[in-house]
Structure 1
Amino acid sequence: MRDQDIQWTRIVELELVAHPDQPRPEITEMDYGMRDGVLRMKLRAATAGYLLRKWSVDCSPDHSLRGHAPCQ
């Protein structure tokens, strides 16, 4: 059974930072309890996409998304 759902059994670590275009990143860092400007989260791979969309994380390589564009 364990091999049947690899994405559910695999744990990934996300490292999230404030968007580079944000004028006051220290506010986000404080709100999310970031250490050294980074929020590290371990979660199941199957749920990572949901979290990134819910938080409107800009997953573009050059941080070019604006507004509430979802991760791809």
Structure 2
Amino acid sequence: MTDLTVSEDLANRIETRVEQTEFETADEYAEFVLSEVVTRAERETDRSSESSTSKEGVQERLESLGYLEE
């Protein structure tokens, strides 16, 4: 387990949110939220990489077929 430090304001906001959820502690809630955010960011990065790769592949294929100048 690693400790993270957040501002007092954010800690208070998290405590307030925990009261409105099924989470028992602020730590559980914060871990869930951070995990969700990181997972979404990773997916976006993966999609961006795939899109970039496929664009390059299409361009190379069009060049090889003579539709684009190399």
Larger radius of gyration: 2
Which structure's residues are more often strand, by fraction? 1
Answer whether TM exceeds 0.5 for this pair.
no
Output the TM-score relative to the length of structure 1: 0.23
Higher RCO, Cα 8 Å, sep 6+: 1
Which structure's residues are more often helix, by fraction? 2
